[in-house]
Amino acid sequence: MAMFSDFLFGGDWNPEQWPQATWEHDVELLEQAHVNEATINVFSWALLEPREGEYDFSMLDSIVELLNKHDFKIVMATGTAAIPAWMARRYPQVMRTGVDGTHQIFGGRHNFCPSSPKFRSAARALASRVAQRYTGEKNLVCWHVNNEYGNGGGYCYCDTCAQEFRHWLERKYGSVEALNRAWCMNFWSHTIHDWSDVVPPVTYGDGIGTDKCVISGLQVDYRRFQNEQMLACYTIERDAIREFDTETPITTNLMGTFKDLDYFSWGREMDVVSWDNYPGMDTQPSFTAMCHDLMRGVGGGKPFMLMEQTPNQQNWFPYCKVKRPGEVGKLSWQAVAHGADTVQFFQLKQSIGGCERFHGAVIGHDNSDRSRTYREVRALGSDLQDRAKQLMGSRVKARVAVMFDWENYWSLEGCVGPTQGLHYPDEVHRFYRPFWKRNVAVDMIESTADVDVLKQYDIVVAPTLIMVKPGVADNLEEYVRSGGRLVTGYMSGIHNEFDLVIPGGYPGPLRELCGLWVEEIDAIAPDATIDVNLGGEEAGDHADGTIVASIIELEGAQTLATYGGDDFYAGTAAATVHEVGDGKAYFIGTALDDAGMSALIDPIIDESGVPTIDAPENVEVMRRYADDGTVFTIVTNTGDEATEWTDEQGVLHQLNPFAVLVLTNE
Ligand code: GLA
Ligand code: ZN
């Protein structure tokens, strides 16, 4: 079942930045581009509540009225993502304090302290007023709470947060002794004697930012705590809306692999996941694909909303390329192929002031229908109504799961040593890409997924699973014993949920399952590689290992690849397989280059029987399955060069740069 009756094609519209006399012309222009939706009120707190407790909805009413007149669907934001001047002035404690202790004054956005009782009650009050006023509007299709929680400023480190954090710890650990044990606080005389001794991981305390911290259990717990505080801000507004509107879906826009928030915990609180896709100049299409899959996974596999993307260039990268002809169509279709049921932009009309004036928009500074951006959006809008609308509600089905776990993200990147070269999303992508290259659909799952969930997959991949939380090792073992294929490797199996090393040799609780002991982890310099012989003990093809090399002692596993070169561990295992029960556990000891990862993962795919689809490397083939049995095959040339693709029936298709084919099984 589709969540919306129309395929939403539109995005953020900020008419409050323009004289009212221009609005109608803009809406007409948008209408001609097949835009049928506007996301409004994202940053309007200062206009809606010009003085504390005094609300003025006159402008928003006129905007809604105009959109209704043109039968635009409305995604209504609560408007709480930027603090109005009077509030910052009167209640300074509402504003966020940075990791360096700087207390923010008025300005910017996403600038509130998530623990501030004043912020929470004021945001709740505003959300409540907005909901009361617009519930039942005939074109209202979705509520959009706040905006990109956590973006920009990062966590808050103010006194309120510190105090709340101490209470949070007290509830979690019960006694300071338990906390001292959990965090290994006898290190460097960190032993605390009173809850008030706990200091958030600030730069002038123990933190080097939250990323690196003397006491790593502190950084992981502070992240958990801030995630909960921020999520509470979301649920407070959501619940305020629900008092008036029991039906319309409620969302907030997420940001893919954004580090600071554990989006799986957010997905559980959201009716529909929406997210903002801003690939950079060097982002590989397979990385974007992974982000879509991750957002779909966060939403429990349901279709999601592509809430934002730019119709042309960004403004906030150091260098902002314009999108090439056809590129915006390709990016939109790639989202649909991975499960998006909407295509929305930031923004519909380009600002003339503020720091986003060089950000692409459907209506540009020329204010006409003549720009290339406008014309491409118009063509895309018509195409989506023709070809994408029928896909709504259909699902992606995957037989491979890749784990992505935010606490693991924090644990891995929080390590001081053995290298600073590990960026979690990139390492997950390294394992994801061989599947993408062969057009194997992937679900992204949490490391704590139930064993019954794991058993639905032929292959489960656990890249750099450094933090093995309670139950996870047992689940993985049961999964493998019952015939599953687990692929894991370097940096896995080292920490417990308190971010302490699990004594007894790496990969800790996965050691028996993998049939090996990683005795040492060597770091490879950023400009260096280590040679890997993919023929196992025989001569074979070679690949480059990077970042780290696990020095492995076999305990039952067989060697699939060995280290070359002339270092002291040359000739030892670089990748292994261990048969356990009816299944196999694979261990890849070093971060192999693209060809090397494929060389090891391809045979696993082939042996598992998971179907693959042949296509040139830049061509992505994805499927969505409708309840009525229709299977949609979406073929996207993600590259800017023409190519061709022969389908499974042997039909040859010419694919222009960024071309998209939609085939059905009928
Ligand atoms: C984010 C925000 C938008 C806008 C865009 C610009 O995604 O949600 O308000 O700032 O970035 O790319
Ligand atoms: Zn705070």
Q: What is the pLDDT of residues 118-130, one digit of tens each?
A: 999 999 999 999 9
Indicate if ligand 1 lies below 6 Å from the C-beta of 165.
no
- Let me know if 308 is a catalytic residue: yes
**What is the total residue count of the chain?**
666
Residue 123's identity, in one-letter code, is A
Select from 347, 305, 290 the least CA-distant residue to 12.
347
Query: Which positions ≥6 away from 343 have C-beta within 8 Å?
Result: 7, 8, 9, 306, 309, 332, 335, 336, 380, 384, 388
Q: Do the beta carbons of residue 491 and residue 464 sit within 8 Å?
A: yes
Residue nearest to atom 6 of ligand 1 (CA): 346
- Given a cut of 80, whether residue 548 has pLDDT beyond it is yes
Distance (angstroms) between ligand 2 centre and the Cα of 119 equals: 10
Strands annotated E in 34-104:
37-40, 73-77
Q: Which of 37, 49, 148, 237 is catalytic?
A: 148
Mean pLDDT of 574-578: 98
Return the pLDDT at 153. Answer: 78
Phi, psi of 336, rounded to the nearest 5 degrees = -60, -45
Query: Which positions ≥6 away from 552 have C-beta within 8 Å?
Result: 516, 517, 518, 519, 572, 573, 574, 576, 587, 589
Cα dihedral 604, 610, 613, 619 sign: negative
Q: Determine the atom of ligand 1 nearest the C-alpha atom of 147.
A: 8
- Given a cut of 80, whether residue 462 has pLDDT beyond it is yes
Return the pLDDT at 374. Answer: 98
**110: number of CA atoms within 13 Å, CB side?**
13
pLDDT class for 209, splitting at 50, 70, 90? low
- Given a cut of 80, whether residue 227 has pLDDT beyond it is yes
**CA–CA dist 578, 555 (Å, integer):** 9
**45: number of CA atoms within 13 Å, CB side?**
29
User: Average pLDDT over the chain, rounded to whole?
Assistant: 97
Residue 372's identity, in one-letter code, is R
Q: Which of 49, 237, 308, 620 is catalytic?
A: 308
Select from 525, 572, 527, 577 the least CA-distant residue to 548.
525
Distance (angstroms) between ligand 2 centre and the Cα of 93 equals: 8
Indicate if ligand 1 lies below 6 Å from the C-beta of 311.
no
Return the pLDDT at 402. Answer: 99
Helix or strand or coil: residue 615? coil
Structure tokens at 633: 């095959």
Select from 578, 581, 548, 582 the least CA-distant residue to 563.
548
Mean pLDDT of 154-171: 97
Beta-bridge partners for 646: 652
Mean pLDDT of 452-476: 98
| pTM for the predicted model, two decimal places | 0.98
- Given a cut of 90, whether residue 536 has pLDDT beyond it is no
Indicate if ligand 1 lies below 6 Å from the C-beta of 346.
yes
Nearest ligand to the C-alpha atom of residue 11:
1
Tell me whether residue 495 is exposed, middle or buried, using C-beta atoms within 10 angstroms of its C-beta: 0 to 12, 13 to 18, 19 or more.
buried
Helix or strand or coil: residue 343? strand
Strands annotated E in 152-211:
207-208
Cα dihedral 525, 504, 495, 500 sign: negative
Residue nearest to atom 11 of ligand 1 (CA): 346
- Of the chain, the percentage scoring pLDDT greater than 90 comes to 97
Nearest ligand to the C-alpha atom of residue 108:
1
Best of 356, 357, 358, 362 for a ligand 1 pocket test (most atoms within 8 Å of beta carbon): 356
Distance (angstroms) between ligand 1 centre and the Cα of 427 equals: 26
Indicate if ligand 1 lies below 6 Å from the C-beta of 308.
yes
Residue nearest to atom 2 of ligand 1 (CA): 148
**CA–CA dist 197, 372 (Å, integer):** 59
- Given a cut of 90, whether residue 208 has pLDDT beyond it is no
Q: Do the beta carbons of residue 293 and residue 258 sit within 8 Å?
A: no
- Given a cut of 90, whether residue 212 has pLDDT beyond it is no
Mean pLDDT of 448-458: 98
Cα dihedral 550, 553, 555, 561 sign: positive
Distance (angstroms) between ligand 1 centre and the Cα of 155 equals: 18
Indicate if ligand 1 lies below 6 Å from the C-beta of 314.
yes
pLDDT class for 358, splitting at 50, 70, 90? very high
pLDDT digits (tens, 9 = 90+) for 42-95: 999 999 999 999 999 999 999 999 999 999 999 999 999 999 999 999 999 999
Mean pLDDT of 220-246: 98
Distance (angstroms) between ligand 1 centre and the Cα of 205 equals: 32
Indicate if ligand 1 lies below 6 Å from the C-beta of 624.
no
pLDDT digits (tens, 9 = 90+) for 89-117: 999 999 999 999 999 999 999 999 999 99
Q: Do the beta carbons of residue 73 and residue 36 sit within 8 Å?
A: yes
pLDDT digits (tens, 9 = 90+) for 471-504: 999 999 999 999 999 999 999 999 999 999 999 9
Query: Which positions ≥6 away from 521 have C-beta within 8 Å?
Result: 418, 490, 491, 506, 548, 549, 550, 551
Best of 80, 145, 148, 348 for a ligand 1 pocket test (most atoms within 8 Å of beta carbon): 148
**CA–CA dist 433, 286 (Å, integer):** 6
**CA–CA dist 274, 77 (Å, integer):** 13
Q: DSSP states of 430-453 as a string?
A: HHHHHHHHTT--EEEE-TT--HHH
**CA–CA dist 472, 478 (Å, integer):** 10
What CA–CA distances, in Å, run from 254 to 146, 228, 418, 639?
Answer: 11, 15, 31, 26
- Let me know if 666 is a catalytic residue: no
Return the pLDDT at 621. Answer: 98
Distance (angstroms) between ligand 1 centre and the Cα of 314 equals: 9
**CA–CA dist 438, 316 (Å, integer):** 33
